[in-house]
Amino acid sequence: MPTRVPQERRRRRPTRSGVLLSEDLIVETALRLIGEHGPEALSVRRLGTAIGCDPSALYRYFHGTDDLVLAIADRIIGDAMAGFAPGDDWVASLREMALRVRAGYLAHPRAAAFASYRVTRRENEIRAVETGIGLLLSAGFAPVDATRLYLTFIDTVLSHAAMDAAFQALPRPQREADHRAWHDVYQGLDPVAYPALTTVRQELHSMGDSSFEEAVDLLLEALAARAPGML
């Protein structure tokens, strides 16, 4: 396999168009491509063109498309968590972690869609997991519980954030139509067939909003209730 990759030191040579390649440059260009033209615009060929190098040069930096995707995902995590330090209040700290992850995803909505369910195995992700599990351990949970509950927490945060990001990535008309959809559709329903919806029909407008914060708060309430120190 000629696709060997991440050495520590490199023998860098400018490309035909004068650019000095680097993993950072590639990831940043990929994020820009996705942000401007959507996830489907990310292909090895287009990325090479955007950077100013031959597409195959990218294989000197990444084993393949999947490797590149993981690098992108890890970069998003790193940006989101930059400068975060957990405080004394573990609930508040987890809450801020959640909000930061969501903000990071919303900053790159189209990339978030395919990055959210991957395990990047890279530094930024490892640090985030260390922080999160550390917070749950400080709350008094046993290792086995802290691990499982962190997984549950972060999966909820990631999947919810990804859903918000995917919605954000929709074209404006479709997004607005979906936002109004609940209000529009349910107003004219048969009260006999749909008694519950009829009862809450005044409140259905809120169905278009994000439930992210409420979901995180509910989850943290349940975690706090289960925490050993809370008896």
Partner DNA sequence: GTCTTGCGTCAATCCTGTTGACATAAGGCG
Partner DNA sequence: CGCCTTATGTCAACAGGATTGACGCAAGAC
Q: Which of 2, 5, 1, 53 is nearest to 30 (CA)?
A: 53
Which of 167, 172, 134, 171 has the alpha carbon at shortest distance from 153? 134
End-to-end Cα, the chain, rounded Å: 58
> Whose CA is closest to 131, among 78, 99, 93?
93
Give me the least distance between CB of 69 and its own copies, in Å please.
9
CB-nearer residue toward DNA: 44 or 107: 44
Buried b (16+ CB within 10 A) or exposed e, 160-173: bbbbbbbbbbeeee
Among 32, 36, 56, 117, binds DNA (CB under 7 A): 56
The residue (of 7 and 202) whose beta carbon lies closer to its own copies is 202
Figure out which of the listed residues 2, 83, 173, 188 binds DNA, where binding follows CB under 7 A: 2
- Based on the shown chain and the rule CB under 8 A, indicate whether residue 14 belongs to the binding site for its own copies: no
Could you say which of 59, 105, 141, 153 contacts DNA (CB under 7 A)?
A: 59
| Of 110, 9, 16, 117, residue with least CA distance to 57 | 16
| Dist. CA 179–CA 186, nearest whole Å | 13
Span of 11-19, 76-84, 96-104, 183-191 interacting with its own copies by CB under 8 A? 183-191
Instruction: Sketch the per residue contact string, 65 through 104, with DNA: x for CB under 7 A, - otherwise.
Output: xx--------------------------------------
For residue 89, the partner it binds in DNA, its own copies, none, with Cβ less than 5 to 8 A by kind, is none
The distance from CA 150 to its chain's CA centroid, rounded to whole angstroms, is 16
Cβ 53 to DNA shortest distance, Å: 3
Stretch that binds its own copies, among 6-14, 17-25, 44-52, 109-117 (CB under 8 A): 109-117
Nearest alpha-carbon partner for 35 in 149, 126, 113: 113
115 binds DNA (CB under 7 A): no
Site for DNA in 9-28 (CB under 7 A): 10-17, 21
For the record, the structure tokens of 84 come out as: 């975060």
The owner of tokens 């959210």 is 116
Contacts to its own copies by CB under 8 A: 66, 113, 116-119, 121, 126, 129-131, 133-134, 137, 143-144, 146-149, 151-152, 155-156, 158-160, 162-163, 166-167, 174, 178, 181-182, 185-186, 189, 194-197, 199-200, 202-204, 206-207, 209-212, 214-215, 218-219, 221-223, 225-226
